[in-house]
Amino acid sequence: MPIVVNKYLIGRHFVGIALWPFIVVKDPRLKEDEVFINHEKIHLKQQLELLVLPFYVVYLIEYIVRLIQYGNTKEAYRNISFEREAYEMETELSYLEHRKIWSFIKYL
């Protein structure tokens, strides 16, 4: 899982993204942040489970549904099932060693 630094990531709140098979970060110091990297690794696992491209389609559809539901971009983002799993489990650094396939479904 290569970590790539790109200081030109769009958005001031956008500090990193998992784009299979890479983790792209805005600030090189994030490469050392174990919790942040674990969060992004969880996304890489989710992407792999959905064969990558469908992950992005489902992510976008769910974001739109959550945006309609909550009427707020930040709340919509935080309530996407993929994000809920990643945020809830990001501090458990061994999570991916025992994570069951398609675990994000329980966060729908």
Host H or E run for residue 66: helix 53-70
What is the reported pLDDT for 108? 94
In the block, residue with structure tokens 């479904």:
105
Q: What is the biggest distance separating any 2 CA atoms in the chain, rounded to whole angstroms?
A: 36
Rounded to the nearest integer, the mean pLDDT of the chain is 96
Please report the pLDDT score of residue 13 as a whole number. Answer: 78
Mean of pLDDT values over 72-101? 98
Reported pTM? 0.95
Domain that includes residue 89, residue range: 3-107
Q: What is the pLDDT of residue 12?
A: 75
CA 92/CA 82 separation, integer angstroms: 16
Number of domains in the chain: 1
pLDDT digits (tens, 9 = 90+) for 13-64: 789 999 999 999 999 999 999 999 999 999 999 999 999 999 999 999 999 9
Nearest to 95 by CA among 33, 34, 19: 34
| DSSP type of residue 54 | H
Question: DSSP code of 100?
Answer: P
